[in-house]
Chains A and B, each alone.
Chain A
Amino acid sequence: MNLSETPQPSELVGTGPTRRVVLTVGGGLGLAAFLAACGVSGGGGTSGGAGSGKGTIRALVMKQAGYSEADIRKMTGSFQAANPDIKVTLDFVAYEALHDKTVAAAPAGTYDVVLIDVIWPAEFGTKKIIADVSSKWPANWKQQMLGGAVATPQYNSHFYGVPWILDTKYLFFNAAHLAKAKVDASELDTWDGVLKAARALKANGVTKYPLIWSWQQAEALICDYATLLGAFGGTFLDGSGKPAFQNGGGVQALEFMHQSITDGLTNPTSTQSLEEDVRRVFSAGQASMAMNWTYMFGMANDPKQSQVAGHVEVLQTPSGPGGRPGVNGSMALALSAESKNQDAAWKYITYLTSQPVQNNFALSSLPVWKSSYDDPAVVKTNPAVVKQAKKQLADLILRPQVKNYNAISQVLQTEIQNALLGKKSAQQALNDAADKTTPLLAK
């Protein structure tokens, strides 16, 4: 049988490129390399400008915890009504995409306003991605805002934005579950008490895994670890800026986390969960206790979104041998350094962060202004959280304010997960993390 007439595509194995093709491609690459080289070692970025104070501005914000998309659109709508010569275009992304989108968009100056996390002013400020707005900060703001809020956009005594979302993690619990297991809520005042309550809930068959956490390999894991680190008396860094989490309280905090998994008290799904996963499991009645941001209180008590609505209560995070600091998870609105319309952008920032606007949306995120907490209208919107916030916000633990924070956080996330999955002991995992982060901190 002869297959000589069978179609045989020969293009793939055809003759090699001709000299002309090689020269053309090579020449093109050479020209491209020449032009590309100009961009790296020459020139310099275009810098932003004040602009006319009107026109269109673009803001990058978050569609997750804190203010909802509807809240932000409503605030923006009222801003535009008050400033008809300024139009605001909003882009919403998940928290996990916020940092990288800010970085990627910086050279083009795509955004005039960006939402930044408390851990980014050091990085974005030193790299001039966001503008230093220290000179725009009215002197009285420092006194009028809560301490944790003032610290949020600050690095090296410079301000790189205005605090907007003041948040920390709280302990939420299902009161009906506790009642079934005959556990008194006062037991949740300490982490030891939380474990005792979890054992009772499990023993009584109320929930198979009473605790759920956001321990996925992400920044959410570091937020939970920070809370426990503080409670066990540890610190991220020592006085000279070197790693200290591998000592004392840092190790105890991680041992506590791992032990709660091996004892079957923490849902094993926690190592794959972010805050929204925590909220869903808790709202489905499949967990009795959870740490999460303020926003969960409203959603878990909303019958449209929760099967445990009406049973959810909130507490300050429990205390340990080192106290009960809450993690500073606040965020600020910053001016993009490349913005060509900084005056209009600043008007927008000061409007959104103003006390009346923040008071109006206190149910989603508590205001950064001290006096708001004495305003009956604000207290009325969220009395349970405001009561706990007054205590919790007075004692916040900051994650390291360093330029290479992201790289350090990635190392910690991996090593903490190694310990949680039982691949390393807590001490070994944190020793390894310290070894890897020491050179990063020195840069």
Chain B
Amino acid sequence: MSATGVATAPRKKRRARVGGKGEARFAFLLLLPAILVVFGVVLYPVARTFVISLFAVDSPLPGFYPFVGLSNYTRVFHDPAFYGVLRNTLYFTLVSTGAELVLGIAVALLLNAPLRARWFWRSLVVLPWALPTIVNGALWRWIYNGQYGALNGLLDALHVSSTPVQWLGSPFLALNMVIVADVWKNTSIVVFFILAGLQTIPTDLYESARIDGASAWAAFWRLTLPLLAPSIAVVLILRTIEAFKVFDIIYVMTGGGPASGTQTVAFYTYLQAFSNQLFGYGAALAYLIVLAVFALAMVYLRMLRQGQMSGVE
């Protein structure tokens, strides 16, 4: 089996000049609102954050602040607390994204099968994702409560353990329990991306594979997964970026504790910028998050491109 013909031919650069200058001006006017919105809500804040990161801004009010160049950036790498929160962030990103992807593919495959009342199961899967993160965090905080939480109640009812576990009571366990809450909510979106990808795969490919003697497992590994690569790449980029920026679920569930064990880079940035009013330092931290996310996205895209160039054997 071979796959060729992936869209690799150079695109023709066509500059369609259908109308004259008047039409171009009209087109520009039509685009102007979008340009202004992009400038106002993307470019200006991005640029302003960068400019703030070069100054020792320690108040939310405009004024004259000393220019400090890149010292806010160098300070990040001399801040011992930063390495702790970076470690937490990388762990959170890796584990939550990995778990969401594996679970998401499994659930999507199940929902792609000819189930009875499939529409109902598909609708049910969207529910966790439809919940606002704040509500999801509050819900899981209650479930995990060491005194009256549902999880301890369940373990007790099943005679697994009658001693209440403090799920959010130690740093590493708390971080993992927050990951579970995040996976519960965000697996839904992975399911939908993968499900959409699965529906673009023609069923006759599987019939051909079966005729060629491929087992279900081989068809999954050599047919389904490679053809899902674009969907997986998109969802990986989205989820990795979201996981790396995680803030709200931490804020609601643990407040960064216990003993700062669930503080992430985004949470730490928030503390520095808003609680401690170190806006210059907070802006530098925010920029580093942007750079890290950008680098991750480039890596994924590169991997995807290489995968497509080599084709599906």
Q: Does A323 contact B (CB under 8 A)?
A: no
Inter-subunit contact B147/A413 (CB<8 Å) = no
Chain B residues whose C-beta falls within 8 Å of the C-beta of A40 in the assembled complex? 48, 51-52, 55, 57, 62, 65
Docked Cα-Cα span, A128 to B58, in Å, equals 12
CA distance A36 to B43 in the complex (A): 10
Interface size class of A (residues with CB under 8 A): 35 or more
A4-B3, A423-B259 known; A32 vs B212 contact (CB < 8 Å)? no
Q: Is the CB of B51 within 8 A of A418?
A: no
B residues near A417, Cβ cutoff 8 Å: 257-260
A107 to B275, CA, bound (A): 15
B52 lies within 8 A of A103 (CB):
no
Complex contacts, B233 vs chain A, CB 8 Å: 12
**Residues of chain B from 123 to 148 with CB closer than 8 A to chain A in the complex:** 145-148
A263, CB-defined interface residue at 8 Å: no
Classify chain B's interface size.
Answer: 35 or more
Closest to B166 in A: A268
Give the distance in Å from the alpha carbon of A3 to the alpha carbon of B1 in the complex.
8
Known A2-B2, A269-B166, A269-B169: A28·B258 in contact at CB below 8 Å? no
B residues in contact with A370, CB < 8 Å: none
B304 and A12: CB pair below 8 A? yes
List residues of chain B with CB within 8 A of the CB of A3.
1-3, 205, 227, 312
- Asked if B63 lies at the interface with its beta carbon under 8 angstroms from chain A, I say yes
The minimal Cβ–Cβ distance linking B81 to chain A, given in whole angstroms, is 9
Which of A1, A37, A407, A418 is close to B209, meaning CB atoms less than 8 Å apart? A1
Q: Which residue of B lies closest to A440 (CB)?
A: B276
CA A18 – CA B48 in complex, angstroms?
A: 26
Q: Which residues of B contact A (CB under 8 A)?
A: 1-7, 10-11, 13, 38-39, 43-44, 46-48, 50-52, 55, 57-65, 67, 145-148, 166, 168-171, 200-202, 205, 208-209, 212, 227, 230, 233-234, 254-260, 270-271, 274-277, 301, 304-305, 308, 312
Question: Could you list 13 A-B pairs, sorted by A, with CB under 8 Å?
Answer: A1-B212, A8-B6, A10-B7, A12-B233, A12-B304, A41-B67, A100-B270, A127-B61, A217-B254, A272-B146, A272-B257, A417-B259, A418-B259
Q: Which 10 A-B pairs have the closest CB atoms?
A: A217-B257, A36-B48, A32-B47, A4-B5, A10-B7, A3-B3, A33-B47, A417-B259, A13-B305, A269-B146
- Given contacts A3-B205, A417-B257, list 13 more A-B pairs with CB under 8 A: A36-B52, A40-B57, A41-B55, A99-B274, A100-B275, A103-B277, A123-B277, A216-B258, A217-B258, A218-B257, A271-B166, A271-B169, A407-B276
